[in-house]
Amino acid sequence: MSIDPVIYEYMASEVECPANQVIIEEGSKGDWVYVVLQGQVKVKKRTPKGMIVIDTLSEGDIFGEIAFLEGEDADRSATVLASEGPVKLGILNKELLIKDYGALSPTLRAIIKSLALKVRETTARICAALVAAN
């Protein structure tokens, strides 16, 4: 996947992470949104049987959006860590995202928040099913 040129308009800074560095910790607070510029990150969820990998993201993929969309008090829904090699990430400009998101109609914002919640709930159900199957 390549990076949509529009994403560059939202980038506030870039950061490099060494292999296996935790970028986001599940359950922590935070509303930064990231885009993978180079390398890969693993998305993991806690389960009663330990951590499981639920996805691998690469160039152009965005993460951290669920907590951003749910608001300041939202917990991070997963742990994200740099994969085997170094990873370069773009950190999106939170103020610009808030401004543009706020310009949407209240109805559209409600739909987007509902979709974010559905992604969180579906991910939890899939993880529970994976754990039960093993």
Q: Please report, as a single letter, which amino acid is at residue 37.
A: L
Local confidence pLDDT in tens for the 134 residues of the chain: 678 888 999 999 999 999 999 999 999 998 889 999 999 999 999 988 889 999 999 999 999 998 888 877 788 989 999 998 899 999 999 999 999 999 999 999 999 999 988 998 998 888 888 888 87
pLDDT at 131: 82
Dump the DSSP string for 53-112. EEEEE-TT-EESHHHHHH-TTPBPSSEEEE-SS-EEEEEE-HHHHHHHHHTS-HHHHHHH
Phi, psi of 41 (to 5 degrees): -125, 150
pLDDT at 57: 96
The encoded tokens of residue 29 equal 């607070």
- Going along the chain from its start, the domains and CATH numbers come out as 5-133 (2.60.120.10)
